Amino acid sequence: MPLRRFWVTFEPSGRRALVDEGSTILDAARSIDLNLDHVCGGCCSCATCHVIVREGHEHLDQRSEDEIAMLETADGQTELSRLACQTEVMADLRVKIPS
């Protein structure tokens, strides 16, 4: 069975990436050379890849305890905040990169 593919749209740029199901939001950003900070290299030990999932959040897995702990250090955290390195794409998403 072929993998499903989904669009990830990044705000404020409006750039879009088409990625395989299970790819992370960080993978999506990298696939279109979008500069999304990830100081720790994507291993959930910082919060520099903090994003806000504006659309599609209801299709995402729950945040892990490690992700929640890291997000507590992020500026501008909301209920829709996620770490791009930890969030697998399971549907079309609209994601805001906080400034």
- 95 closest CA partner among 23, 4, 2: 23
Q: Is the pLDDT of residue 94 over 90?
A: yes
Domains, in order of start, for the chain: 5-87 (3.10.20.30)
Question: How many other CB atoms are found less than 10 A from the CB of residue 75?
Answer: 8
> Could you write out the three-class secondary structure of the chain?
CCCCEEEEEEECCCCEEEEECCCEHHHHHHHCCCCCCCCCCCCCCCCCCEEEEEECHHHCCCCCHHHHHHHCCCCCCCCCEEECCCCECCCCEEEECCC
Question: How many other CB atoms are found less than 10 A from the CB of residue 44?
Answer: 15
The mean of the pLDDT values for the chain is 96
Q: Is the pLDDT of residue 1 over 80?
A: no
Q: Is the pLDDT of residue 72 over 90?
A: yes
Report the alpha-carbon distance of residue 19 to residue 36 in Å, rounded.
16
Q: State pTM to two decimals.
A: 0.95
Q: Is the pLDDT of residue 99 over 90?
A: no
